Chain A
Amino acid sequence: DAKTTQPTSMDCAEGRAANLPCNHSTISGNEYVYWYRQIHSQGPQYIIHGLKNNETNEMASLIITEDRKSSTLILPHATLRDTAVYYCIVRAPALLNDKIIFGKGTRLHILP
C-alpha cells in the first residue's frame, strides 16, 4: 500500500471548516483513500473513503485531486467533539492481505 504524509497537528476554530490535507504521491490506480479518526481513548472510527471522485457523507467530504496524489478531508462545521487524531490511509483491494496500516495521523484540536 502507498505511503501517506500528513501534518503532525492542526488547530481549527469551532464552527469553522476543518481541512485536513494528505499526500499520497505513490498511490496506484486501484488504491482507495480512506480516512479514520480516533477520539481519545476510543476505537478508530471510519469516516469516508474514495477512489477518484469526490465523496460526501453525513460526517465529512473527501476531495481527491485529479492526479490522485493528494486529498483533503473536510469537516464542514467543526465542533469540540471533532478533536481527534485523523488518519489518512491508502488501501488496495485484497482478499488476503487486508490489514490497515495506520501512520501517525494528524492531531486536530478544535478551539472554542
Chain B
Amino acid sequence: NAGVMQNPRHLVRRRGQEARLRCSPMKGHSHVYWYRQLPEEGLKFMVYLQKENIIDESGMPKERFSAEFPKEGPSILRIQQVVRGDSAAYFCASSPVRQRTDRTYEQYFGPGTRLTVT
C-alpha cells in the first residue's frame, strides 16, 4: 500500500517564479492537509482540503498561496511570485473518510518537498 507521495522532492526557484507542489494521498484517503516547516522551526498547518473543497485555510498566507484538490489527480499547493522567505519544507498529509464524529483519524505524512528560493 503506497504511502503519501509528494513531488518534486526538491524544487529550486528564482525570486518571482511560481512553485507548484504536488501531493497524492494514500489510496482510499480523501482528506489532504498541507503543513510548512521553515528552517529550524516547527511544523505549521496551512490548509485542509477534501475533494474539490477547501475546508480550512486558516494557516495559509493571504497572498500568493493557493491550494486545490481536484476530483481527479493530486492536490496542488501553488506559490506565486516566490520570495526567499518561502524557502521551507512543505509536507502533505492524508487521512481517510470520516465515518464517525466521536473519534479522531490519523494523518499520514509524505516525505515533503524542499523549496529553495534563490
Instruction: Give chain A's interface residues, CB within 8 Å of chain B.
Output: 30, 32, 34, 38, 41-46, 49, 91-105
Contacts and interface: CB of A to CB of B under 8 A. Distances in A.
Given A99-B56, A102-B43, A103-B42, A44 B104 contact: no
A38 B48 CA distance: 21
A46 B42 contact: no
B43 A44 contact: yes
A95 B42 contact: no
B56 A44 contact: no
A98 B112 contact: no
Interface residues of B, number: 31
B69 interface: no
A91 B56 contact: no
Interface string B59-93: 10000000000000000000000000000010101
Contacts of A38: 43
A93 B56 contact: no
B1 interface: no
B43 A95 contact: no
Interface string B7-45: 000000000000000000000000101010000001111
Contacts of B103: 32, 93
A32 B95 CA distance: 16
